[in-house]
Structure 1
């Protein structure tokens, strides 16, 4: 495996990893056709790998009546762009393109969420995510009233803030490790598979 994936040790082979990590990585590889570099970057600390992906999955795959998978990825792209995390902008931009079925939206969000073609509801969601993720802001009465009026419930509001906070952590870990995005991510959702 390529050591340029991280400034920290990565496994020479998946066979070196605990079985649960190996199985998770192989399942992702089967579905995506490649192993995302973040999996290898985190694999040198199995307990942290497990905790990271458990929380990631709890936030990003949780069923919601109103917060869609595309909207969750919008939050990730907007936060990651502001943190200058190329890996997360590229990787989650690919997921956003796929979920939204829009090859341009991720790039527009990464450059300027205010000029991206969003609904007012989505603008409110991203404004709050950036408030939490960049301004260290909290949920006050005004934000709560605005978000509730835009159709989010308290569980959705928690998810918006938690996704913004979690990807602050993710952005910093990827940047710390110097982990580049996989080349495969760049074309996902842009060209037919």
Structure 2
């Protein structure tokens, strides 16, 4: 099932390259109340994890957070296989299709950092079905969209365009995993909180930069 019902998906104009924050709707762990295990897993997960609603919420189940972070980091940052920019393109395509404005903004920036351009992401935000500046980019986007929408119908037909473009087996595996983990990550973001404006410059650590909610009054 889609991460967000089609009737509730944001308009194309909602998607952005701007750096966004994210606020949890549930009460996240307070760093001062965290135990040693929770703090260690937060530090393993991301440099900004102790000030992130997302990580602090997941740290309520610390072993799940540890496994999530190990899996995420291996898929998105592992060596070999698909180029980093291509993994980011797949992640952005999934997030755009599922209506996750926060994740789409993060991976739009990541793609731009890696590829030194943003044209394909601008196209993706406007019209995913026709996005791509090359046959290879279009094949990656269509691959990610097909796996996102109908994994039960995914098969050789969806692999063929990428194989035709010379994508290796290892790269195909990376693209499958990047698409799959964002199908999951989008659902966490969309069901546990919401994006929020954040007035900071993009940086190399932006992929999980999340603003903490103000203290309750």
| TM-score (structure 1 length as normaliser) | 0.78
Of structures 1 and 2, the one with the larger relative CO (CA 8 A, separation 6+) is: 2
1:101 equivalent among 101, 116, 122: 116
CA–CA distance in 1 between the matches of 2:127 and 2:32? Answer: 39
Quote the offset at 1:57 in angstroms. 1.1
Superposed counterparts of 1:14-25, under 5 Å: 16-17=34-35, 18-24=38-44
Residue of structure 2 aligned with 1:113, choices 121, 125, 128? 128
Residue 115 of structure 1, CA deviation: 4.5
TM-score when normalising by structure 2: 0.71
Judging by fraction of residues, say which structure has more strand.
2
- Rounded to whole Å, the distance in 2 between the matches of 1:101 and 1:37 is 30
Matches within 5 A, 1:43-192: 43-65=59-81, 67-136=82-151, 137-140=153-156, 142-180=157-195, 183=198, 187-188=201-202
- The runs of 5 or more residues in structure 1 that have no matched partner are none
Inter-partner Cα distance in structure 2 for 1:110 and 1:14: 40
- Give 1:104 deviation, angstroms: 4.9
Residue 83 of structure 1 deviates from its aligned partner by 0.5
- Provide the alpha-carbon RMSD of the alignment: 2.7
Count of aligned positions: 179
- The Cα offsets for residues 13-37 of structure 1, whole Å up to 9 and x where unpaired, read as 2661523223235x5239xxx9554
Cα distance in 2 between the residues matched to 1:157 and 1:8: 36
Gap regions ≥5 residues in structure 2: 1-21, 204-217
Does the Cα contact within 8 Å between 2:42 and 2:55 map onto a contact in 1? no
In structure 1, what is the equivalent of residue 17 of structure 2?
Answer: none
Q: Distance in 2 between matches of 1:106 and 1:95?
A: 11
- TM-superposed CA distance for 1:45, in Å, is 1.7
Tell me the secondary structure at the aligned position of residue 180 of structure 1.
strand
